[in-house]
Amino acid sequence: MGATKSVTDASFVVDVLQSDKPVLVDFWAEWCGPCRKVSPLLEEIAVEMGDQVSIVKLNIDENPETARAYRVMSVPTLTVFKNGQPVQSIAGAKPKGELVKLIQSAL
């Protein structure tokens, strides 16, 4: 991983909820094919928009508490958090343009 950052149940509050800029959380799993399709797109977006938004990845198998708290039922689920609150969420692999729109909706 390059521009994106991994978060855990333990670091979620600091890395996401207390962030001073919007955060896109990629709830993913190792066994998830669509997650692997989305990952390189998120890396690109993180490089292009890194000054405006943080992009983090949370492995739901390793961090079930946070996934449960936000009722993540399928992966990938991409949720934008702003000021500690989830503001927008989409499930499934989406094209880069749609991911960028999702982020821009929170800026």
d(CA 41, CA 12): 22
Which residue of the set 23, 24, 32, 56 is catalytic? 32
Between CA 95 and CA 91 the distance in angstroms is 12
User: Within 13 A of 104's CA, how many CA atoms are on the CB side?
Assistant: 8
Among the listed residues 25, 35, 75, 106, the single catalytic one is: 35
N-term to C-term CA, the chain: 24
Identify whether 32 is a catalytic site residue: yes
Catalytic residues: 32, 35
